[in-house]
């Protein structure tokens, strides 16, 4: 979905902070060959779009309802 949105808007993603649940070393990225398969997938999307639509960013959204900024 990130590829589709970035391709249409030309905008970087906004990272939204959420609760993190530690699952140890059994996640999908711990499987052998995951990094290579992920790279192949990303490259395939870039090929289909004719370019790399993903844009780097350092922005993120955090819940500030309980914070005082003023």
Question: Which residues have CB under 8 Å from 60's CB, separation 6+?
Answer: 14, 15, 16, 17
Domain coordinates in residue numbering, the chain: 1-14+31-59
Question: Which residues have CB under 8 Å from 61's CB, separation 6+?
Answer: 14, 15, 16, 17
What angle do the packed helices 34-49 and 2-9 form, to 10 degrees? Answer: 30
Tell me what pLDDT residue 19 has.
76
pLDDT tens-place string over residues 24-52: 777 777 778 889 999 999 999 999 999 99
Q: How much is the mean pLDDT over the chain? A: 82
Could you tell me if 13 and 57 are in contact, meaning their C-beta atoms sit under 8 angstroms apart?
A: yes
59: nearest Cα among 22, 7, 12, 2: 12
């Amino acid at each position: 979905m990130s590829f589709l949105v970035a391709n249409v808007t030309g905008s970087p993603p906004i990272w939204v902070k959420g609760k993190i649940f530690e699952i140890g070393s059994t996640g999908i990225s711990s499987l052998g060959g995951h990094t290579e398969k992920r790279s192949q997938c990303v490259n395939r999307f870039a090929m289909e779009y004719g370019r790399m639509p993903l844009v780097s960013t350092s922005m993120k959204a955090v819940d500030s309802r309980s914070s005082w900024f003023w």
